[in-house]
């Protein structure tokens, strides 16, 4: 399949992952910038793939669903961008590999009221080598910090961009995505453009 | 395009996806991903297809992703992949997986940035 000739009738599909802790605004961001309200898919997982679940005391085969919200943005006639929110439950970590596979990059949404919630996402994309940025979702009642303070708290590589955003705001989400794609592009180039 | 769906977390409804695939959980031949693009390339035959196959044929008159089909059909992606494999083997649809080289081309990044700026 991978070597099949490219079919000009179909657009090039690009995937960006929106990650972050529970309630950080993942689905809000997907909805704010997508063409339609967020769509949802639910994959079925059998006990073979949910091996890290504690099924002690549960007899027989277990089946679980893992839900993902996603949205679509048509970019001209040749490209279509899909945004996938990561499943919130940490026991679905293994499913993140499916999502991260082939992704152009990831936005890690951070909530300054619960900054630690985004640590696992940052760790995950660092380890995997997926280009990512941190977007601080500026909730109305959340404490405001300087970007440098957040970088220090996250022990983030200086090369990883941090942006402030409002996940409810279309333009803000669009600018966040542009920052990510620009960051991912620069990582591809051996010599950074000044 | 979109519709309200039951909450699967309280009502698993786990049986139906396996029924529509006649018990199959994996595509026989092709590989699919959530963003695999799918498009009908032939009219659906008058008989021999299940209602879910026919629904896919209606939904993919233009290019659409496997994930969108799954959401619209209220089926897990894994079940949709099995159905897509059936249609592909009958020559009714064309599919296109993302290529690893898509991200090697700076022009792809530039096109995405330009497209986002135009929103």
Q: What is the ipTM of this complex?
A: 0.85
A179 vs A176: CA distance, rounded Å: 5
Average pLDDT over residues A123-148: 92
Q: Which of A21-35, A61-75, B78-92 has the lowest mean pLDDT?
A: A61-75
Chain A: give the shortest CA distance to residue B49, in Å.
Answer: 23
Q: What value does the mean pLDDT of chain B take?
A: 87
Quote the pLDDT of residue A1: 44
Residue B7 covered by a domain: no
- Calculate what percentage of chain B has a pLDDT beyond 90: 63
Alpha-helix residue ranges (DSSP H) falling in chain A: 26-33, 93-100, 119-128, 147-154, 170-188
Chain B: give the shortest CA distance to residue A81, in Å.
Answer: 8
Q: Do B108 and A79 touch (CB under 8 A)?
A: yes
Average pLDDT over residues B71-85: 94
B115 close contact with A: CB closer than 8 A: yes
Residue B6 covered by a domain: no
Of the two residues B17 and A101, the one the predictor is more confident about is: A101
Average pLDDT over residues B27-37: 91
Residues of B in contact with A2 (CB under 8 A): 97, 99-100
Count of the separate structural domains present in chain B? 1
B63 close contact with A: CB closer than 8 A: yes
A97 close contact with B: CB closer than 8 A: no
Residue B22 covered by a domain: yes
* pLDDT (tens digit per residue) in A137-178: 998 888 888 899 999 999 999 999 999 999 999 999 999 999
pTM: 0.87
Residue B10 covered by a domain: no
Tell me the Ramachandran region of residue B76: left when phi exceeds 0, alpha when psi lies from -120 to 50, beta otherwise. Answer: beta
Residues of A in contact with B70 (CB under 8 A): 41
Residue B2 covered by a domain: no
B77 close contact with A: CB closer than 8 A: yes
Of the two residues A91 and A61, the one the predictor is more confident about is: A91
* pLDDT (tens digit per residue) in A30-88: 999 999 889 999 888 765 444 444 444 444 556 677 888 999 999 988 999 999 999 87
Q: Tell me the residue range of the domain where B80 lies.
A: 15-117
Average pLDDT over residues A23-31: 94
Return phi, psi of residue B40, to 5°: -70, 135
- Please name each of the domains of chain A with its CATH number: 12-52+61-188 (3.40.50.300)
Do A43 and B63 meet the contact criterion of CB atoms below 8 Å apart? no
Strand B37-40 versus strand B64-65 pairing type: antiparallel
Residues of A in contact with B100 (CB under 8 A): 2, 102
**CA-based angle A126:A137:A16, to the nearest 5?**
50
């Amino acid at each position: 399949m991978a070597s099949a000739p490219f079919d000009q009738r179909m657009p090039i599909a690009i995937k960006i992952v929106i990650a972050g802790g529970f309630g950080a605004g993942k689905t809000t961001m997907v909805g704010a910038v997508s063409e339609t309200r967020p769509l949802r898919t639910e994959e079925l997982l059998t006990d073979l793939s949910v091996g890290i679940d504690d099924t002690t005391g549960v007899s027989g085969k277990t089946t679980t669903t893992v839900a993902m919200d996603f949205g679509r943005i048509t970019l001209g006639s040749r490209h279509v961008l899909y945004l996938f929110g990561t499943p919130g439950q940490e026991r679905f970590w293994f499913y993140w590999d499916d999502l991260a596979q082939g992704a152009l990059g990831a936005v890690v949404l951070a909530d300054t009221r619960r900054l630690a919630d985004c640590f696992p996402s940052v760790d995950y994309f660092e380890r995997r080598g997926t280009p990512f940025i941190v977007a601080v979702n500026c909730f109305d009642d959340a404490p405001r910090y300087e970007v440098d303070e957040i970088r220090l708290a996250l022990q983030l590589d200086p090369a990883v961009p941090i942006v402030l955003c409002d996940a409810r705001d279309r333009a803000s989400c669009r600018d966040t995505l542009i920052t990510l794609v620009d960051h991912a592009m620069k990582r591809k180039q051996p010599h950074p453009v000044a | 395009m979109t519709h309200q769906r039951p909450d699967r977390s309280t009502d698993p409804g786990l049986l139906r996806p396996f029924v529509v695939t006649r018990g199959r959980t994996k595509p026989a031949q092709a590989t699919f991903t959530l963003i695999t693009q799918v498009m009908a390339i032939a009219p659906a035959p008058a008989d021999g297809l299940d209602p879910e196959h026919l629904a896919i044929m209606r939904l993919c008159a233009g290019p659409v992703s496997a994930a969108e089909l799954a959401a619209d059909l209220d089926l897990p992606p894994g079940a949709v992949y099995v159905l897509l494999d059936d249609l592909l083997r009958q020559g009714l649809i064309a599919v296109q997986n993302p290529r690893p080289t898509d991200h090697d081309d700076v022009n792809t990044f530039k096109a995405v940035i330009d497209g986002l700026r135009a929103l």
